[in-house]
Structure 1
């Protein structure tokens, strides 16, 4: 992990971020989406202050994390949904955990008390990562949507901040 650092995402990272996203989608267990959005669509859907990338020692983006609001209602201003993706060639080096830890610090500094996510149950690596990062399973949405012609369940995860009261 010594050769990996986390920094804010910038528009210069768009090509790598979207390529990593697409690689995750192509693997089949990351999202109901099948095609990464345009940068404009990605940019419009994510909160500016909580977009981070992991870069290797050569400065290449190897992973990213970002959040979206869960609702535009004021009462949910402290609740976000996150996504975290790592280049398949960089997995197992700790980048995803570094990204989640940095995201927790960023969101807590902004007064966000809950980070949520939905993960396919087959994505056991992501479920284990989230558990190690302090997320807990709050439920399973059974047969919530069709993906590649079959019904898929989604495990709902959340991390409640112990410092935001």
Structure 2
């Protein structure tokens, strides 16, 4: 059964070490496409694991290329600051395997993250998205994120300056 209660959507579950190879493979695909991150290589699993909040990372499982129980996508959150004033603010990343796109995977993952963060008292989820990644911007808008602004020429990526659209979702239930 999927996160939305239908038999057709992806199954969302907590990310575990057993998912490591597939999670990092999906991450590498996103890196290789060049529109998802400033990163140019995927981290090792211990690096990834140490940088993500354990209660706020999820995977979407489904059938991919005829193989069941494959990772269709993942979402994970990190702290934005060690300062106590920012205890309720996280930054997230969401990656969907090219073969899992247009199947509701991204939205299901965002909904799972929103549920886990709100249950933990987190009031803001934020992220930075390249403006060229229009699919991700549209997905986040559907999930209730808003554009805060554009950070112009914030970083270099493959020798070119890149802008980043700063987005956030403020919880209507955590105050």
Task: Classify the TM-score, shorter chain.
Answer: over 0.9
What residue is the counterpart of 1:44 in the other structure?
50
Give 3-state SS (helix, strand or coil) of 2:69's partner: coil
Q: CA deviation at 1:75?
A: 1.1
Unaligned runs of 5+ in 2: 1-6
Q: CA deviation at 1:2?
A: 1.3
Give 3-state SS (helix, strand or coil) of 1:60's partner: strand
2:26 pairs with one of 13, 17, 20: 20
Residues 1-165 of structure 1: pairs in structure 2 closer than 5 A: 2-57=8-63, 58-165=68-175
Q: Structure 1 residues 130, 3: CA separation in 2 closer, same or farther (over 3 Å shift)?
A: closer
TM-score of the superposed pair, with normalisation by structure 2: 0.92
In 2, Cα distance between the equivalents of 1:32 and 1:125? 17
Aligned-residue CA RMSD in angstroms? 0.9
TM-score of the superposed pair, with normalisation by structure 1: 0.98
Q: CA deviation at 1:43?
A: 0.5
Q: CA deviation at 1:3?
A: 4.5
What residue is the counterpart of 2:4 in the other structure?
none
The runs of at least 4 aligned residues of structure 1 exceeding 3 Å deviation read none
Unaligned runs of 5+ in 1: none
